[in-house]
Each structure stands twice: as C-alpha cells, then as structure tokens.
Amino acid sequence: MAKCPECGALIDIEEDEVEQGEIISCPDCAVELEIVNTHPLEFDVLEEEEEDEEEGDEDSEGEDEDDEEEESDEEGNGFH
C-alpha cells in the first residue's frame, strides 16, 4: 500500500502486481500516477503538460501531410 501524493488516499496495490513506469489512477481523486519505484511503492503525479506535448506532436504531423498535398497540387498545375 502507498499514499497518493495528490490527495493522500491509501492506494491498495501490491508491489509485486505493478511495474516501474506503469500509469495508474488514484481511486479517490482520479489523478494519473506514474509508478516510480516498486520497493517501496512510490508514485509521482503525471503532469498535464506531458499529455499536451504529446497532442502537440500529433498536430505537427498533420501539418506536414497538408504541406505535401499542397506541393503535389503545385506540381500538377505546372503540367497543364
């Protein structure tokens, strides 16, 4: 058992049932927690900024695809 670093609730998880780096949710406050140590069991609050950065990466990929389509259109216009 370990305490949620956000709300202090006891989280009933056995050390042998989880792995370091695994993400769980606190049953009381629903914050996402990363397991940073299994012996003893310790959590870190997963920051919202990390999620935003991942979403930002997906957006930039979509922009690249749009640029490629525009380049294809420009090439096609030169042959008419």
C-beta of residue 50 within 8 angstroms of C-beta of residue 32: no
Which tens digits make up the pLDDT trace of 10-53?
999 988 999 999 999 999 999 999 999 999 999 999 886 544 45
What's the pLDDT at 22? 96
What's the pLDDT at 58? 53
Q: Would you state the structure tokens that stand for residue 4, as one six-digit string?
A: 């949620």
Which run of H or E residues covers position 33? strand 32-38
Tell me the average pLDDT across 56-77: 54
Residue 2 has pLDDT above 60, yes or no: yes
Report how far residue 52's alpha carbon sits from residue 57's, in angstroms, rounded to the nearest whole number: 9
More confident residue, 14 or 73: 14
C-beta of residue 80 within 8 angstroms of C-beta of residue 66: no
pTM: 0.57
